Amino acid sequence: MKSSPPGPIEPGSTIGILGGGQLGRMTAMAAARLGYRCHIYTDEHDSPASQVAATTTVAPYTDAAALTAFARSVAVVTFEFENIPEATAAIIEPLAPLRPGRNCLVIAQDRLNEKAFLNGIGVATAPYRRAADAMELAQAIDDIGRPAVLKTARFGYDGKGQVMIGANTDLQAAWAAMSGSNGAQIGVLEGFVEFDREISVIVARAPDGSCQAFDPVENRHTNHILDTTIAPAAITDEMGYKAVATARHIAEALDLVGLLTVEMFVTRDNTLLVNELAPRPHNSGHWTLDGCITSQFEQFVRAICGLPLGSAARHSNAVMKNLLGDDVLRWREILAEPGAKLHLYGKSEPRPGRKMGHVTRLSPRK
């Protein structure tokens, strides 16, 4: 007989967040509105999340003593990025509930684990092969064909560690570009997908197994970095139902408690392929702060604390635009624009490609 989930973590308690970036910042702000305090654990000084949190610990993610003290000071621990060491999660799990759990981290932070898991539960992905060196890459190319995309198995994001392989690409050069100074990295070769559009679905899952999913949205990238999210995605109702059902299926198979973002390709022959998972809030969900009854960040807090999930209903159409690098210098112009909702992340130094904030523009729901 399955045991019932533990009771809710009551307002007034402290939530521990691993990571100090803008996702942690917006989570802490949502938590405060529900009466929670947040304790940020990060290896960076003056992080965006620490600026709005009650407490911050600045220490390496390998510092066992600091992690132990952190875990003992909070009622629950979560993370705002998935590239923390598994050993970090192993230290925390015996001391405080970790939501989502270590298994979600192990799967989501390694593309090989992720694709094997997805295929194992009947979810389609692009064809892929493992490659440990340039020789294995050549064999993988024989299996997959060209064009293809070579990616690092771990620690790649926003296009980092990714190389497009075309008809005339030199494989030794491609391997060197992917692996950089770490020649021991494992790569994943993925078949190139001719897609009509890229979409994502964010689903929240509570300890009792209840789920709420936000509407599928379309994502458009510039230089491999998310530039614009359009809500809702211009897809058929049937495709939308399938995308949401796929996201819920994955969350349930992971036994996830928290938030899961599922990035997907809608192909030109109208099939759905899952690209990546992120067991946390996601850039493509920022529009929910202004366009939904419950934002992804409030939903995240509700899920990890065992509260009833809020309505994920969209009350407006929305277009979310990232402010990358010097885009943030337009803040006065954006504030003067009627209907524009500006969100800045408290980062002091604009750099090319750095996410400094976002702006959301709403229109009536159709």
Query: Which CATH number among 3.30.470.20, 3.65.10.10, 3.40.50.2300, 3.40.190.290 corresponds to the domain 195-364?
Result: 3.30.470.20
pLDDT tens digits for range 135-180? 999 999 999 999 999 999 987 665 577 899 999 999 999 999 888 7
How many CB atoms lie under 10 A from the CB of residue 103? 16
| DSSP letter, residue 234 | S
Q: What is the mean pLDDT of residues 222-234?
A: 94
DSSP assignments along 202-225, one per residue: EEEE-TTS-EEEPPPEEEEEETTE
- Write out the residue limits of the CATH 3.30.470.20 domain(s) in the chain: 195-364
pLDDT band (50, 70, 90) for residue 185: confident
**Helix or strand or coil: residue 249?**
helix
Has residue 6 got a pLDDT over 80? no
Tokens 């090319």 belong to 352
Q: Is the Cα torsion angle 322, 326, 328, 333 positive or negative in sign?
A: negative
Q: Hey, which residues does 198 pair with through a beta bridge?
A: 219, 265
pLDDT above 70 covers what percent of the chain? 96
Whole-model pTM over 0.85: yes
Query: Which CATH number among 3.40.50.20, 3.90.800.10, 3.20.20.70, 1.20.58.220 corresponds to the domain 14-98?
Result: 3.40.50.20
Has residue 181 got a pLDDT over 80? no
pLDDT above 90 covers what percent of the chain? 90
pLDDT tens digits for range 51-109? 999 999 999 999 999 999 999 999 999 999 998 999 999 999 999 999 999 999 999 99
Could you tell me if 285 and 292 are in contact, meaning their C-beta atoms sit under 8 angstroms apart? no
Has residue 4 got a pLDDT over 90? no
pLDDT band (50, 70, 90) for residue 240: very high
**Helix or strand or coil: residue 265?**
strand
Angle between helices 134-144 and 171-179 (to 10 degrees): 120
For strand 76-79 and strand 14-18, is the pairing parallel, antiparallel, or unpaired? parallel
- How far apart CA 166 and CA 147 sit, in angstroms, is 5
184 token code pair = 């021991």
Q: What is the mean pLDDT of residues 330-350?
A: 96
271 token code pair = 């099939």
Q: What is the mean pLDDT of residues 331-349?
A: 96
pLDDT tens digits for range 29-63? 999 999 999 999 999 999 999 999 999 999 999 99
- Write out the residue limits of the CATH 3.40.50.20 domain(s) in the chain: 14-98
pLDDT tens digits for range 254-302? 999 999 999 999 999 999 999 999 999 999 999 999 999 999 999 999 9
| DSSP letter, residue 345 | -
Buried b (16+ CB within 10 A) or exposed e, 291-328: bbebbbbbbbbbbbbbbebbebebebbbbbbbbbeebb
Report the mean per-residue pLDDT for the chain.
Answer: 94
* Cα 132 from chain centre: 26
- How far apart CA 12 and CA 288 sit, in angstroms, is 25
Has residue 335 got a pLDDT over 60? yes
**For domain 127-191, is the CATH number 3.60.15.10?**
no
